[in-house]
Amino acid sequence: MDVSRIVGQKRPIGYWIRHLHGLTEGALDRSLAEYGLSRRHWQVLNVVSRRPSTPGDIDAELSPFLDRDRPTLAPLAEELRERGWLHGDPALSLTEEGVRVHEELTGKVTETRARITEGITPEEYTATIDVLGRMAANLGG
């Protein structure tokens, strides 16, 4: 398909993906700011909430969010451990306080995600995820 000929599209998909990613990061960071957390902290906490995880497990699951500037999320896991929300070595688990905080943060993240998808039907959301997944597969991802 020659997408350059699609009428009415002023910006390419890459623009919208990057723009939405930045807006999503900002919205989630703001919703977690009162806890002194970023989206990445949330993601680490969320991975560990599902099952005990080593720092390597966390990095593997969240690898799309790693880059040259942040090659590992281990320092964030250590911050969460220092707050008393994680414990264990090498596999990390939530403490009782970590479970409580995770539940609170889940509410904040759910509210933010609802704002992001406001006015979008479940069918539209599903179709968007499907199309983006197929585009990624076309590029080997």
What residue ranges do the domains of the chain occupy?
27-114
Task: Determine the pLDDT at residue 12.
Answer: 87
Give residue-wise pLDDT tens across range 18-77.
Answer: 999 999 999 999 999 999 999 999 999 999 999 999 999 999 999 999 999 999 999 999
Contact 67, 103 (CB under 8 A): no
Give residue-wise pLDDT tens across range 105-126.
Answer: 999 999 999 999 999 999 999 9
Cis peptide before 90 (omega within 30 of 0): yes
What the block records as the tokens of 140 is 């080997």
Contact 105, 45 (CB under 8 A): yes
Q: Which fold has domain 27-114?
A: Arc Repressor Mutant, subunit A (1.10.10)
Task: Provide the 3-class DSSP secondary structure of residue 69.
Answer: coil
Reported pTM: 0.86
